[in-house]
Amino acid sequence: MAVKDDIEDGEQIDISLRVTGTDEWDHDAIARKIQLVDVEGTPVELTVFHNNEIADFEWEVGRWYVLENVVGNEYRGEMQLNPGYDLIVTPLDEPPAEAESGGAENTSAADAGESSSEADSSDESEFVRGSEVTNEPRPTADGGGELLHQQPLSEGNYLLQFDLGDLPELTVHEYELRATGSGGLNPDDFTNGIEGFTAKAANYYQSRSNSPVTTADASRRRIYATEKIHSTISIHGYTIEPIHQGETTLEARSYTDDGPLQEFVKQDVKRAVAGRFEVSGIDSIIEPTPQRTANSGLFEAYRKYKCRIRVDADGTVICGVNVAYHLESTFSAAEWVERGHDIAEVTVEHDTDLYDSARTATVKEVIDMDYDDVLDGPGVPMSEYHEKHVEQDVIDSMRAGDPIIADLQYGSGDDSIFPQLLEYCKVIPTFEQLGRVDDTFLDVIHNESRMKPEERFNVVTSFVDLLGPTPYFSFDPVPQPTNAGYREHKTPNTPNLRFGGGNTGYYGAGGLERKEYGVYKAPESFDIIALYPEDEESDARPYVLTLLNKLADYDAGPTAFDQETYELGSEFHYSQHAQKASDYDAALIVVPDADEAAAADYDDPYPEFKRRLGQLGVPSQMISVDNLGNDNYRGNICSSLIGKAGGVPWRIDDVPGDVDAFVGLDVTYDHATKQHLGAAANVIMADGTILASEAVTKQAGETFGEDDVANVIKHVLEIFAEEEGRPPRHVVIHRDGKFYLDVENLINRLDKARDLIKRFALVEVRKSGNPRIAAYDESNSRFDIADKGIAFHVHNGEHSYLTTTGGKEGSPGTPRPLQIVKRHGSTDLDTLAEQTYWLSEAHVGSLSRSTRLPITTYYADKCADFAMKGYLTKGSVIRGVPYI
């Protein structure tokens, strides 16, 4: 059953909705706005224009309708609906079964306030079968400790995932969709062609049945249904008839069948929590009551769960769960202004405790307007217009005062700006905004979100116990973590970092500080200039001298050193000072704290120095005034400066896998503008030393595609051959996240260059959504932080979960593993995991703690970010690591 979170901007959708109210408009274009809710009770609004065929349609409040071919329209994150050119509105005599079972029939728009959440776009249906979800009390989210330890656990490492049950096979009905219409089915009528048509039809049948339906072979118009379906449907003017092709048994051991089985289970899990949590998808399940409320009363924090489903080859159904915090505000946008905060460009939402329409908008500016002034569009006073949305006593109280009114932009165009009382809106909380209003509560949330393993496993275990029995498959999870489907592997704990004199150690500070080995390789030329603000010279000069002494301790003392002061003022003056540094190999620059610079009347020197020195090819190391005298940062500053100037503080002694070079790929993506802004790639030798990087700027809408990857690899060949005098025999390519391209086509192109690259591997390094890993201490009956280098390799597939931080480093909370996904290559998972682990130890900007990411993707990300900000020369080969 389609819900609001399935609506996409500019895309048609078929969706069942209940009318909760109508809002008549006296406007040249808009006839009325229809307030509706989906089967989950989430509000959504339909704009009806005068020129629509349904302009005179009689909407009945409280009645359900099926809207076919309605179009999504996004207004600054708030998804609404517009009529499509072939919109069909069909009244329903009875509510959809999903609405009856899910409680949406009794949920008004005012009761179902909007909340920011992440949608699971593949999770589109709901159904009820077998044992219904009950409202009987079960353990709360804080009662998991007893459940977790009710059965003995063995000593060792565990994935934070749970056994839901078994689904080794499932007999389903297969249907071919026959479409009749004038001229036959035109794939261009559907997003993604025939596949899009098949997915839309499957989703449509989900909305009309009490059992799951999903695509089978979408290119052949095939769908799977767990129960028989008979009815014809209409989509985009086509009449669709399901032609039964017989029964098919899906088997978990099949690589092609595990996908549909997984989709069926995801739908079942979502239905299991509906009604007891706020659910937009199985990766956004929010508890109905806050876990923490600020002493100020302005913010609330709710626990939010993300589930990931996997069906193992033997049919074991695994559910991985993560828990985090979801923030909501309780204060009005008017209070935000009254507290002296700038409201311009702040995102707000209608307060559904006061207002009957849940919408999101961006504040443009506070305006000089009275509450009884006439609105240009409706042609009535604002107070009278609000009688359709707000209780009369609230309106009267606003009239009696002097309410703050601002122009709010509800869409992307100038015609979407309307005045609104800020008293009727709430600020959408971000960590930045939370810090402005209540930094004490922000500290509380930050600390509590770093759950230690014992607490995290307790909370998640209790949540998992609440899942069962699920409504369709009657899964009743075992409330204990399991490693089912995975094999554990540990990277050998050896001193595998090489420093000066051929000495090896375990980590950066161990070799440079504790053992005093000295750097592996000092910069060949290391002339340094230091620049200080005039007012900070007395503190900055002695601190920089301590840095020079530490560089000497590392056997990397500067070959020359000069120092100057600069005046805080204009960016043009900073550029002049940067120009003077062009004759040096590196620059140490003391700059004001960022917050202080933002509030001062002078230009912030940081971006200008970074930009100009980057253009000049001079690596720079910035030091905040607040950190002068802080001995904890001196090692990192010196190590970074050495690396930026072409030195090698340390390298990896031995990387498994007989690899010649690694390539890291990354794209900087701006979610606000939905644009790929920058891309970068680097070439890293097998010992973890950086050979070269390259950064480019992408245009709006572009992606880092197959041709870009091919061109990067061409440059790899050129750079490696220039350095080594031969082509690389074995290259491992790390992509930050998913490749998002035709991997098979890329493989075919690379296969044609076997004479240049005999072996290559394509690996995705995924950072988010992975199950945590913790070590169980049997003697103390508790979970502790797992050691670094622990990996769990899946039996049926090509991925691993890897811990790159933790252990004795004392990282707060439960370290987040990486997922290593092999897309191509003959290298085994053990080797790929060990390579990734050691590359995470090779970051020369962190002496005391491991970085979470391997330097392949970490450095590529930094390089892309610097290129986007203009701190690097784009399109040219970059030597060293000036971007760390």
In the prediction, which pLDDT does 137 show? 36
Residue 430 or 580, more confident: 580
Q: Return the number of other C-beta atoms located less than 10 Å from residue 171's C-beta.
A: 9
Instruction: Read off the DSSP letter of residue 274.
Output: B
How does residue 138 score in pLDDT terms, banded at 50, 70 and 90? very low
Residue 309 pLDDT greater than 80, yes or no: yes
Residue 159 pLDDT greater than 90, yes or no: yes
Instruction: Read off the DSSP letter of residue 459.
Output: H
In the prediction, which pLDDT does 206 show? 74
Cα 73 to its chain centre, rounded Å, is 22
In the prediction, which pLDDT does 134 show? 36
In the prediction, which pLDDT does 428 show? 79
Cα–Cα distance measured from residue 812 to residue 831, given in angstroms and rounded to the nearest whole number: 28
How does residue 51 score in pLDDT terms, banded at 50, 70 and 90? low
Q: Give one DSSP letter per residue of 399-449, joined into a string.
A: HHS---EEEEE-SSSGGGEEEEEGGGEEEPP-HHHHHHH-HHHHHHHHHHH
How does residue 419 score in pLDDT terms, banded at 50, 70 and 90? very high
Residue that is written with structure tokens 């026959």 in the block: 178
In the prediction, which pLDDT does 115 show? 31
In the prediction, which pLDDT does 42 show? 83
How does residue 135 score in pLDDT terms, banded at 50, 70 and 90? very low
How does residue 666 score in pLDDT terms, banded at 50, 70 and 90? confident
What is the per-residue pLDDT across 229-262, written as a single tens digit (0 to 9) for each?
Answer: 888 888 877 888 899 999 999 998 887 888 899 9
Cα–Cα distance measured from residue 612 to residue 574, given in angstroms and rounded to the nearest whole number: 9
In the prediction, which pLDDT does 142 show? 56
Q: Is 778 left (phi over 0), alpha (psi -120 to 50) or beta?
A: alpha
Q: Give one DSSP letter per residue of 793-821, joined into a string.
A: EESSSSEEEE--S-GGG--SS-PPPEEEE
Residue 140 or 46, more confident: 46
Question: For a pLDDT cut of 70, what percent of the chain falls above it?
Answer: 88
In the prediction, which pLDDT does 85 show? 63
What is the per-residue pLDDT across 376-412, written as a single tens digit (0 to 9) for each?
Answer: 877 888 998 898 888 999 999 998 888 999 999 887 6
Cα–Cα distance measured from residue 88 to residue 69, given in angstroms and rounded to the nearest whole number: 7
What is the per-residue pLDDT across 174-220, written as a single tens digit (0 to 9) for each?
Answer: 999 988 866 678 887 776 788 888 888 887 887 677 788 888 988 88
Radius of gyration of the CA atoms of the chain, in A: 30
Q: Give one DSSP letter per residue of 733-783, joined into a string.
A: EEEES---S-HHHHHHHHHTTTTT-SEEEEEEEE-SSPPPEEEEETTTTEE
How does residue 651 score in pLDDT terms, banded at 50, 70 and 90? very high
Query: Highest mean pLDDT: which of 292-301, 588-597, 827-836?
Result: 827-836
